[in-house]
Structure 1
Amino acid sequence: MAAQKLRQIRSRPSLQMKFCPLCKQTFKDDNVNFCRQDGTPLVIESWSQSDTQQLLGKVQPGIGGSIHSQKQGVSNIPTTSATLTQTRRPRKSKTIDSLAVLPFVNVSQDPGTDYLSEGITESIINSLSPLPKLRVMARSTVFRYRDRAVDPSEVGKALGVRAVVSGRVNHFGDRLMINTELVDVSDGSQLWGQQYNLAFADIFEVQEEIAREISEMLRMKLTGAEKKQLVKRYTENSKAYQLYLKGRFFWAKRTPESLKKGIDCFQQAIDVDPDYALAYVGIADCYIHRGGGASIGLRPSEGMAKAKVATQRALSLDDTLAEAHTSLAYVKLLYDWDWQASEKEYQRAIELNPKYTEAHHSYSHYLTAMGRSEESLAESLRSLELEPLDLLMNVHLAWHYLMAREPDLAVTQLHKTLELEANSFQAHLYLGQAYEFMKLYEDAVVELQRAKGLSEASTEALAALGHAYATLGRREDAQSILNRFEQLSREVYVSPYLIATVHLGLEEKDKAFESLEKAFVERDQWMIYLKVDPIFDTLRTESHYAELVKRVGLTNN
């Protein structure tokens, strides 16, 4: 049945003349899918005029070969126009072992459908990434090329891969037109190309076929289990899947408002399909982000409770999900303070998917908290190896160096990070903290003020600036930040641990301990670093501090 459906929505090798519906220029070359004059998708000469108009709408030339539909909500696109185009080159004799899937371009002129093009891209990446003999560039790496007109071959060379997948997605009401191609980076030749005209309900078959075709053209020799994994579905409901893609789109933005939207979308997906395990993982990740919901105004007890329920439900549905084990490991680490159970979940996640970056990244946090610095460094480097251009992974390595009391290495890493993104607030935040560690207080304040300006919502940046002010002797400025925290705490959750750091900078030890005790009661996420955080080094000889570390359960770890 699936094969029959694919025959209806994909192209067959075309021996027919193609033409541009705008400039009317004709093309005989089967390898040409877009007009060389204005970038409009070509159509088969045998299509009727009404078919062409219904499929493409009234089109105008787009930048970089894209098209823009001037019709909104086009429906009743003719299913007879399934004869699009397919290109297949003779396969290379040598296996291609590395690949980048560039962000598919949304050419529908509707930003509200960006989640579709991004979601399709991410789904293809996720399907191919687990293959053991194929190195697939991570989402965060390739999405740096989003909204940029790029040459696939040049991008492939820059990323050090041998093949590149690119594509375009056009959305017409409940239908999609997807064009994708696979390019050999060595000579720029097209190894394979395909156009699909489909209802959204058929998206699963198309994504599976794209993954299969790519693996075949790369001459991948897959085991039965690998072939099964390549086309694994996490839901059979296209509506639930569409809502899930929207949820991931909002989750990726990681702002307080987008996290709320992400939770709403994931919940709607679950309402449509109550057995959709990945949607439960999505909910958990939103609540876990920034410590049990602090980014969306929830106390750890409320946010982490919701995250725990969601991860346990996900694992009850599919205990082979590395994402679910990683999320549960986070809950065990940040809130339960169950160190053995947390490590067990991390190790299981990495066993299930050794290429899952987030498992390595968050496991590094666990190892740092336990004082196992060398192992943490290994996991940090592994994360960066998997996603070399990811801002978070680059910043994380610098954070590791700070916790390991190596500020000079942190500074070097942060300068590299700022070359990737000059406006990374976390890079400026940790650079400021590194400078303070090195007693370069004026430089520290400059960087921390920059971090605060780039992320007004970050209480972490605000606390770091308050501590620097206090250390530099600017007591009134530090006190104003404490006043700001008091005001904020009436509206949202503010970490008492972070407040304690400002009191400590002001040499108010009693108030610092008072805040740390409150953080203990709240099970604040930062408390797991009490054993290793350099900012509290001046308190380590205090019996109260040692007793607090013991109560958190970190003494023998």
Structure 2
Amino acid sequence: MLRRALVCLIVLIGFSLSVTYSEEKMRLAILPFSNVSESTDFGWLSTGIPESLTFSLSSIHNISLVERIQLESILEEQELSLSDLADESSAVSVGNLSGADTLLVGSFQITGNRVLIALRFTDVSSGEVLTDKTLRIEGELEEIFTLYKNLSYGIIEKFQVQITPAEIVRLEDQSEITESLKAYEYFTLGKNQYYKESEEGYEEAAGYLQKAVAEDNEFGLAYAYLSLSYQKMALLRGQSGRGGYSEYVEKASEYIIPAREYGEGIAQVHKILAEVLYLKGDVIQAGRDVQKSLYLNPMDVETWLIKWRIKGKGNPEHPDLLRALSLDPESAEIHITLGKAYARKSFFPEALFHFTKAFDRDPRNIALHYGFAEVYQDMG
């Protein structure tokens, strides 16, 4: 407790940060980083760095982060590669489509056992590079999580983001997810596959995550994603009528235990366990985990959505769903969820309103197009 109090005091003095919430949020899109090293051995950091920064900053109320899935959808739709993002106009186009007001484009360079990370910010509305906000940090690869934490504080300071002592404590507590760089590499590669949202992707993710926990057998977050990957595979097998459902459910259950043991007190672990348990039908334990996750990080939009699925009974005006919307009014996922909920109650104008809002942010979302089709069919 004393350490946390000192951390809060030092950061508050060092950065001169307010402890109240602002009415205006910074909406930030963090794009994949460019590898400017001579070697491609650490290419996985292209997604590992933005993923970790997103993880760190997700607990800050006054920073709203564009979802990774939405960004990847935009990059695919615009047929843009990492090299294309070096062009300012292409990057700004991505920012506009994502609804961000600020764009973070970064790069990293590995030399020996040291890493240099550079961050460049662009104002999306003007297309102007914010030269006074540029950040650079260098250090040992083995200390990369400390570098991430310092970059997070740097972003907060540069943009004068108001932050509370509780948020500082959360940022400190989730700054390091593993002590093994190799485990972190496998974890990042696994997450890359997981985001493909396909049976093959989940299977590949599980393979990498198995390697991650082999490198660090106390890696709670990796165990949690292992459990979720197997549970998602089980659902897909069950929906298709193919075999393997029971086997994957059993594997998902197997990894809940080490995830809970080694991930205790990590908000994201409890969030993932809540989703796994909800999918398994254990709504009581799922409710406990989602509540604990929100206690640890009340600013996480996805956790409020999971809580709504567990307890909201499909009500589009349930406080949990409205809380998620208030935290991220531009989220395509939230508007799709609201659209579906209103459609089930035959409130078609409201459903179309939210589907249209989602379309503005993620026009290629398959679930969104199904939602539109079902509403128009039901309307006759």
TM-score bucket of the superposed structures, by smaller chain: 0.7 to 0.9
318, 334, 348: which one aligns with 1:393: 334
Letter in 2 for 1:229: L
SS for the counterpart of 2:212 is helix
For the Cα contact (< 8 Å) 1:312–1:328, is it kept in 2? Answer: no
**In the aligned structure 1, how far is the partner of 2:321 from the partner of 2:227?**
23
Please list the CA deviations of residues 192-219 of structure 1 after superposition, one character each: whole Å capped at 9, or x if unmatched.
Answer: 4344566643422322221232233344
Residues 330 and 159 from structure 1, CA distance in 2 versus in 1: closer, same or farther, beyond 3 angstroms?
A: closer
Residues 225 and 333 from structure 1, CA distance in 2 versus in 1: closer, same or farther, beyond 3 angstroms?
A: closer
Letter in 2 for 1:179: A
**In the aligned structure 1, how far is the partner of 2:131 from the partner of 2:16?**
11
The offset of 1:253, in angstroms, is: 1.6
**In the aligned structure 2, how far is the partner of 1:361 from the partner of 1:437?**
26
The offset of 1:174, in angstroms, is: 7.1
169, 175, 179: which one aligns with 1:232: 175
**In the aligned structure 1, how far is the partner of 2:92 from the partner of 2:314?**
44
157, 175, 197: which one aligns with 1:216: 157
1:419-498 map, 5 Å: 419-438=360-379, 440=380
Task: State the match for 1:181 in structure 2.
Answer: 120
Letter in 2 for 1:357: V
1:179-328 map, 5 Å: 179-182=118-121, 189-196=130-137, 200-219=141-160, 220=162, 223=165, 226-227=168-169, 229-230=171-172, 232-289=175-232, 292-294=235-237, 299-328=244-273
The offset of 1:363, in angstroms, is: 2.2
RMSD: 3.9
Q: Which runs of 5+ in 2 are unaligned?
A: 1-14
Percent of aligned pairs with the same amino acid: 19
Task: State the match for 2:57 in structure 1.
Answer: 128
Please list the CA deviations of residues 130-184 of structure 1 after superposition, one character each: whole Å capped at 9, or x if unmatched.
Answer: 134x3232333555665444468894898465x6543123467976543213567
**In the aligned structure 1, how far is the partner of 2:370 from the partner of 2:43?**
31
Q: Highest CA radius of gyration, 1 or 2?
A: 1
**In the aligned structure 1, how far is the partner of 2:365 from the partner of 2:97?**
26
The offset of 1:244, in angstroms, is: 0.8
SS for the counterpart of 2:132 is strand
The offset of 1:269, in angstroms, is: 0.4
For the Cα contact (< 8 Å) 1:100–1:137, is it kept in 2? Answer: yes
Task: State the match for 2:8 in structure 1.
Answer: none
**In the aligned structure 1, how far is the partner of 2:141 from the partner of 2:286?**
39
Matching of residue 412 in structure 1 with residue 353 in structure 2: yes
The offset of 1:258, in angstroms, is: 1.4
The offset of 1:221, in angstroms, is: 5.8
1:151-190 map, 5 Å: 155=95, 159=99, 161=101, 164-170=103-109, 176-182=115-121, 189-190=130-131
The offset of 1:225, in angstroms, is: 7.2
Task: State the match for 1:504 in structure 2.
Answer: none
For the Cα contact (< 8 Å) 2:115–2:139, is it kept in 1? Answer: yes
Letter in 1 for 2:206: I
**In the aligned structure 2, how far is the partner of 1:157 from the partner of 1:191?**
25
Higher relative contact order (CA 8 A, sep 6+): 2
For the Cα contact (< 8 Å) 2:29–2:98, is it kept in 1? Answer: no
The offset of 1:240, in angstroms, is: 0.6
- Count of aligned residue pairs for this structure pair: 343
Please list the CA deviations of residues 390-432 of structure 1 after superposition, one character each: whole Å capped at 9, or x if unmatched.
Answer: 4433322222123333234323333343343443221222222
1:40-59 map, 5 Å: none
Residues 156 and 354 from structure 1, CA distance in 2 versus in 1: closer, same or farther, beyond 3 angstroms?
A: farther
The offset of 1:112, in angstroms, is: 8.9
For the Cα contact (< 8 Å) 1:364–1:380, is it kept in 2? Answer: yes
The offset of 1:365, in angstroms, is: 2.1
**In the aligned structure 2, how far is the partner of 1:271 from the partner of 1:207?**
24
Please list the CA deviations of residues 272-322 of structure 1 after superposition, one character each: whole Å capped at 9, or x if unmatched.
Answer: 000011101111221233764538966543333322332332121132222
TM-score (normalizing by structure 2): 0.74
The offset of 1:116, in angstroms, is: 1.6
TM-score (normalizing by structure 1): 0.53
SS for the counterpart of 1:253 is coil
Matching of residue 333 in structure 1 with residue 333 in structure 2: no
For the Cα contact (< 8 Å) 1:102–1:145, is it kept in 2? Answer: no
For the Cα contact (< 8 Å) 1:100–1:156, is it kept in 2? Answer: no
Higher mean Cα deviation, 91-100 or 404-413? Answer: 91-100
Residues 184 and 374 from structure 1, CA distance in 2 versus in 1: closer, same or farther, beyond 3 angstroms?
A: closer
**In the aligned structure 2, how far is the partner of 1:179 from the partner of 1:371?**
44
Letter in 2 for 1:118: T
The offset of 1:245, in angstroms, is: 1.0
More helix by share: 2
Letter in 1 for 2:199: P
**In the aligned structure 2, how far is the partner of 1:100 from the partner of 1:365?**
27
**In the aligned structure 1, how far is the partner of 2:366 from the partner of 2:304?**
23
**In the aligned structure 2, how far is the partner of 1:425 from the partner of 1:188?**
34
Letter in 1 for 2:377: E
For the Cα contact (< 8 Å) 1:311–1:327, is it kept in 2? Answer: no
